[in-house]
Structure 1
Amino acid sequence: MGWRRHVPAVVRPYTETAPVAAFFLGMSSGFPYAMIGATLTTRLAQDGIDKKAVTAFTLAFLVYNLKWLWAWVVDGVRIPLIGRLGKRVSWLLLAGVMVMAAVANLALVDPSASLIATAYAAILVGFAGATYDIVIDAYRIELLKPEQLGVGSGMTQYGWRIGSVAAGALALVLADRIGWQGAYLACAMFALPAMLTGLLLGEPARHRDPAERRAVGAVMQSITGPLTEFFRRKGAFLVLLFILLHKIGDTLANLTFRLLFDDLGFTNDEIAIYDIGIGFWAYLIGIFVGGILYARLGMKRSVLISLILMGVSNFSFAALASVGHSNWGMAGAIGFENFASGIGGVTVIAYFSALCDLRFTAAQYALISAAASIVGRVLTGTSAGALIERFGYVDFYLLTTALAVPGIALFWLMMRAGLIDASVGTAGTEAPAPQSPA
C-alpha cells in the first residue's frame, strides 16, 4: 500500500495485514485470562476469601494446560452449518460464543454464597478460553509468514495485553460502580475482535485441512501424531524440558501480585493506575524493544536476554514487599516486570510458534503453550498461598527469582549445542503454499 511508504521502516512490518490481524486475535485471547486471573483474585480477596482458597482458584488455569487433549478436534472436526465459512473461521465463531457465555455465567455466581459454584464457573471460563486459544493460535501461526513470526508475536502480545488490561481495568472500575456482576457481563464483549477478524480475512493461507477424524483409532492417531513428530526431532526432550522450566518463577510470582497489593493496602483505583496503567505502557515499550532485539540479535540471543530480564524482574517485588505501601515502589516493580515480559512475549512466543509443524499447528502449539506454564500454575494453586503465609512476601519473591535460573541455564546450553535451530518446525521455515483451485 502506498501509505506504508511514509511509515518508518522499523514500524512498517507492523502495518501489514497479518500482523494487524494478530493484534485483534490477541485481544480476544487475553481477556478470559484476566477474568479468572487477577480480576477474580481481587474479587475474591475483597469478599474476604482466605488466601489459600484464593490461590487455589489459579488451578482453573490448569484447564489451559490440558487443552492439547482436545486440540485435535479443532484440527479435524468441521462444524455443521457454519463450517462452510472455513474450519478455522467457524471454530473462531463457536469458541467466541462459548467464551461469552462462560464469562456471563461467572458474572452471575456469588463467591460469598458458594465457592464451589464459583470454582465451577471459573473452570468453565478456563475451558472456553483454552478452546478459543487453540483456534486463535492456530489461525495466527497459519496466517503469518515465517518472516512475520517475530512481528506477529509482538502484535499478538500488544493485543493480548490490551485485551487483558482493558478487560481487567473495566472490571475494576465498573465493580466499584455497578458491582462485579455487571462488570463481568460488560467484559464479555472482548470476545468479538477475533470473531470479526476471522469473518473479514477468511481462512489463513498456510492452513492445511487434514482428513476428518471419526474412528477411535483415528482419534488416538490425531493425538499421538503431533507428539511423535515433535519427539523425532534432535534434542526434543531438552526442548520440552526448557518449555516446562523457563516460566516457573514468572508464573508463580505473577499470579500472586494482587494478593500482595491487597495486603499492602492499595485501593482499586491505585491498582488500576499503577498495576494496569503504568504496567500497560511498560509492556508496550517492552514489546517494541523485543521486536528490535529479535530483528538485530536473532532469535537465540534475544530469547536468552528476555529470560534473564524476566527472572530478575521478580526481585523487584521482593523490594516492594520490604518497602510496604509505596506508589512509586509499585510503579517501579510493575514497570520493570511488564517491560521484561513484553520483550519475552515477542522472542519466546516467536520461538514457540516456529516449533510447530504446519500439519499439526493447533495440537502442537496447544501442547507447547500448555507445557510452558503448567509447573508454575500447579505450584501456585497448591502452595503459593501457604508459602506466602509461612515465609512472607519478601522471601517468596526471592524464591521465584531463584526458580528462573534453571530455565536460563538450560537455554544457554541448548544454544551452545545447536539444538535451538534443530528444533524449528515447518511453521518457522515454510512459505504459504499456492492457492489450489476449488
Structure 2
Amino acid sequence: MPFVPDAIAVQAPHNRRLMALFAVLGFSAGLPFYLFATVLFLRLARHGVDLTIIGFFGWVSLLPTFKFAWAPLLDRFAAPGFTRFWGLRRGWIMLAQLGIGISIVGLALADPDRNLAVTAFWAVLLAFWTTTVEIAADAWRVELAPDAATQGPLSAANLWGYRSAMVAAGSGTLIIADHWGWTLAYLAIAVTACCAFPLVAITARDEHATTASRWNALGVGALATLVAYLAVAVLAAAVGWAVLGMAQQMGIGAKSNVTTPVLVIALLPFVLMALALPRIRRMGPEAPLRRSAALGPYIDIFWRFGYGSMVLLGFVAFYRMGDVLALNMSKPLINAVGYTLTQVGLADSWVALATSMAGVALAGWMVTRWPYGLSLTIGATLSAIGNYSFVWLYHMPVAPWVLYVATGLEQFGHGFEGTVFVVYLSLLVNPRYAGSQYAFFSGFAFLLPRLIAGAAGALTKVIGYDGIFVISGTLTLAPLIFLPFLARLKPRMATDL
C-alpha cells in the first residue's frame, strides 16, 4: 500500500495537541528501552553473570542500528487491519506496541537468568518491537516538521516523553525488584506498556470509520500482530542459534578479548560505502537503484551528499559513542561501588527526570535560535562532563548525594545532546523518504558505538571502571573535529544534474 498521510498530518505543522501526542509516542518507545539495556545489565550483574558476558548483552542494542532494513516496509505497506482505521504510522505503532507487551512478559519470566540464551531471545524481541515503534513515530514527526523551527518543539516533546519513560521504567523496575523481585518488576512495566493510556492518545482521531469497521480492524490487527510476532520470534531464534553456534566454534566466551575483531567489523561499513560512492554519484534520476523501493532511499543519501557523506557519517557514527559506552557500564559500576537497588532507583527517578527534562527543554529552545554547530558543540561538552562525573563517583565513598550529583550531570548532558542530535539528523532527511532515511541515520549513529560497547566489559577488566569512563568522556568530545567540514557541506539537488 503506498503511503497516505495520517489525518492529523494535514493540519498545522505543530501545536499543543501535536506536542502532547509526540510526548506520548516518546513515552511508548522509551518505556521498554532500559529493560533490554541498563536495567538488564544490572539484573545480570546481580545474578553473578561475568562482566564480559554482560558486555556481550550490549550487542542486543545493535538491533535498532539495523532498523533501515525494515523501515522501507513501514513506509510502503500497511499494518493489516490497524492502518485502515488509524492510518499508516499509527497502525504500525499499535501493532508494535502489542509486541512490546508480549516481549516484556517473556523477559520477566526469564528471571533468574539461568539460561542466558532465553534471556537474550526475549531481549532481542523487545528491542525489535521497540525499534519498530520508533521508526513509525520518527517518520511521522519528520513529515510533520520539515524545518528547525517546527522540528525543535516536536523533537523536545518526543524526547520528554521518551526520557520520562526511561526514568519511570528504570527507577520503578529497580525499586520493585529490590522489594519483590525482578519478575514482578518486569510484569509491572508490561502492564504499563499495554495499558490504554498511550493507545488512546495515539488513536484519538476517528472521523471516517464506522463502529463495524472499528471492530473488524481491531480483529484483523490483533490476528496480524500474533502472526507477525510469531514470524519475528522464529527468525530471532534461528539467527540466535546460528550466532551462538558460531561463537562456540570460535571459542568466544567469558575470557575472550573481542575488542580487535569488533573494531575491524566496525570499519567495514565505511570501506564499502567509499567503494560505492563513485558509481552512485554518476547515477541519473531514472537509474534502477535510485528508483528501487528497498535501496532507493539510501542511495539518495549518498547521491545528495556525495563524498561529503563520508565526513557526515563519520560524525554521526562518533557523536554518541561516549554515551553508549557510559550507558552500558554505568549500572555495573554503580553495583561494584556498593549502592543498593533502591538508591539507584531513587537516583533514576526524580533526579534523572528533573535534570533530563531540563537538558531536553534547553536544547529544544536553543536549536531554533542558535547555529547547529554551536548547539552540537555545547551538547558534546555537557555530555562529556556527565561521563567524567562517573570517574569521580567511582573514587568517592558511597553516599546518596554523590550518586545524585553524578546522575544529574549525566542526564542533563545526555538529554541536551540527544535533543540537538535528533533535530540535526531530522534536517538531513529527504522528506520523500522520511521513515527510511531517518531510520538509516539514527541507526548508523549507534552502529559503531554499540559494536564497541559490546566489548566494553572485557576492556573494563583491563583498564578499570574509571578508565572506561575517561575514555567515554574523551570520545564524546572527539567528533567536534568534524564540525568545520560539516558547516561547508551542502546537499546536491536534483536540478544539479
**TM-score of the superposed pair, with normalisation by structure 1:** 0.85
- Does residue 409 in structure 1 map to residue 481 in structure 2? yes
Instruction: Give SS of 2:395's match.
Output: helix
Q: Cα distance, 1:228 vs. partner?
A: 1.2
CA distance in 2, matches of 1:201, 1:226: 30
* Alignment-derived partner of residue 162 in structure 1: 164
How many residues are matched? 396
- Does residue 48 in structure 1 map to residue 48 in structure 2? yes
* Alignment-derived partner of residue 369 in structure 2: 296
Q: Cα distance, 1:271 vs. partner?
A: 0.4
Q: Is the 8 A contact 1:239 1:423 kept in 2?
A: no
Q: Is the 8 A contact 2:97 2:193 kept in 1?
A: no
The one-letter code sitting in structure 2 at the alignment partner of 1:275 is D
Q: Cα distance, 1:201 vs. partner?
A: 4.2
The one-letter code sitting in structure 1 at the alignment partner of 2:155 is S
Out of 162, 166, 176, the residue aligned to residue 174 of structure 1 is: 176
For structure 2, list consecutive stretches of 5 or more residues without a partner in the other structure. 1-12, 208-287
Q: Is the 8 A contact 2:107 2:122 kept in 1?
A: yes
* Alignment-derived partner of residue 231 in structure 1: 302
RMSD of the TM alignment (CA)?
2.4
CA distance in 2, matches of 1:271, 1:195: 30
Q: Is the 8 A contact 1:304 1:412 kept in 2?
A: no
For structure 1, list consecutive stretches of 5 or more residues without a partner in the other structure. 1-12, 204-216, 427-438
* Alignment-derived partner of residue 433 in structure 1: none
- Identical pairs, percent: 29
Q: Cα distance, 1:36 vs. partner?
A: 0.5
Deviations 1:325-352 (A, max 9, x none): 2322222221111111121122111111
Out of 429, 442, 445, the residue aligned to residue 372 of structure 1 is: 445
Out of 385, 410, 414, the residue aligned to residue 457 of structure 2 is: 385
Q: Cα distance, 1:194 vs. partner?
A: 4.6
1:19-418 superposed matches below 5 A = 19-85=19-85, 86-144=87-145, 146=147, 147-188=149-190, 189-190=192-193, 193-201=197-205, 221-234=292-305, 235-381=308-454, 383-415=455-487, 418=488
Q: Is the 8 A contact 2:171 2:348 kept in 1?
A: no
The change in CA–CA distance for 1:335 and 1:412 in structure 2 (over 3 A counts) is farther
Instruction: Give SS of 1:242's match.
Output: helix
CA distance in 2, matches of 1:81, 1:254: 38
Q: Is the 8 A contact 2:321 2:475 kept in 1?
A: yes
CA distance in 1, matches of 2:144, 2:22: 9
The change in CA–CA distance for 1:196 and 1:239 in structure 2 (over 3 A counts) is farther
Deviations 1:387-437 (A, max 9, x none): 21111112221111222233111124322xx22xx35999xxxxxxxxxxx
Q: Cα distance, 1:323 vs. partner?
A: 2.1
The one-letter code sitting in structure 2 at the alignment partner of 1:80 is P
* Alignment-derived partner of residue 430 in structure 1: none
Q: Is the 8 A contact 1:308 1:408 kept in 2?
A: no
**TM-score of the superposed pair, with normalisation by structure 2:** 0.75
The one-letter code sitting in structure 2 at the alignment partner of 1:68 is F
Q: Is the 8 A contact 1:250 1:400 kept in 2?
A: yes
CA distance in 2, matches of 1:38, 1:321: 18
CA distance in 2, matches of 1:166, 1:424: 43
CA distance in 2, matches of 1:389, 1:273: 28
Q: Cα distance, 1:196 vs. partner?
A: 2.8
The one-letter code sitting in structure 2 at the alignment partner of 1:151 is P
Q: Cα distance, 1:319 vs. partner?
A: 1.4
* Alignment-derived partner of residue 434 in structure 1: none
